[in-house]
Amino acid sequence: RKILVLHWWEADSKSNWFPWLKTTLEKEKIEVIIPNLPEAHAPILNDWLNTAKTKAWKLSIWDTIIWHSMWAKALMHFIQNNNISWINCILVWPTYETIEDEVDLEDPIEIKKKLRDFHETKLDFQKINSLNNQYIVYLSYNDPFINPNSAKKYYSQLNNIKFIDFH
């Protein structure tokens, strides 16, 4: 079994809970891949998708991809663009809204322009659903940055989805 974990904006493979997750899963004999994605401070959607693609070629049926926060939309693009099928997708506190809902209004304009692609590039949920993936969404109602109602919008778009709420 393999798990591909992709970090969020301004993070890297050593940030937050990633080292703990990697160590914990490797004790269970699960291969964990956590690449450092390029330009984490101002990511470009296509660069991240290309990096993910080079790491995901090893994934097989029912392996897992974990993405966090606003990168849940990037995962949807990744699945759609690469016909990724029969895997588990874990979305940790995912966002669904537009970039204005995710980025502080004082962030530089050039960063907002780059991040806009993550949200405004259209998704084909009919195609995504045809690929037979399973989705688990972890929500928290005390997260100061992510509105759980935003994440619940995936429920109306995706088949094979399960929500786990942390109150």
Half-sphere exposure of 148 (CA within 13 A, CB side): 12
What per-residue confidence (pLDDT) applies to 47?
83
Task: Give 113's pLDDT tier (boundaries 50, 70, 90).
Answer: low
Model confidence pLDDT, tens digit, residues 9-47: 778 899 888 999 999 999 999 999 888 888 877 777 788
d(CA 65, CA 83): 14
What per-residue confidence (pLDDT) applies to 131?
93
Comparing 153 with 100, the larger pLDDT belongs to 153
Which of the residue ranges 27-36, 123-132, 151-160 would you say has the lowest mean pLDDT?
Answer: 151-160
Residue indicated by tokens 């470009």: 44
What per-residue confidence (pLDDT) applies to 96?
64
Torsion of CA 36, 40, 43, 46, to 10 degrees: 0
d(CA 141, CA 165): 8
132: left (phi over 0), alpha (psi -120 to 50) or beta: left
How high does pLDDT run on average in the chain? 80
What per-residue confidence (pLDDT) applies to 14?
93
What per-residue confidence (pLDDT) applies to 145?
65
Mean pLDDT, rounded, for 85-90: 90
Model confidence pLDDT, tens digit, residues 89-99: 988 877 765 55
d(CA 99, CA 117): 9
Comparing 76 with 127, the larger pLDDT belongs to 127
Concatenate the DSSP letters of all residues of 87-145 into one string.
-EEEEES---S-HHHHS-TTS-HHHHHHHHHHHHS---HHHHHHT--EEEEEEETT-SS
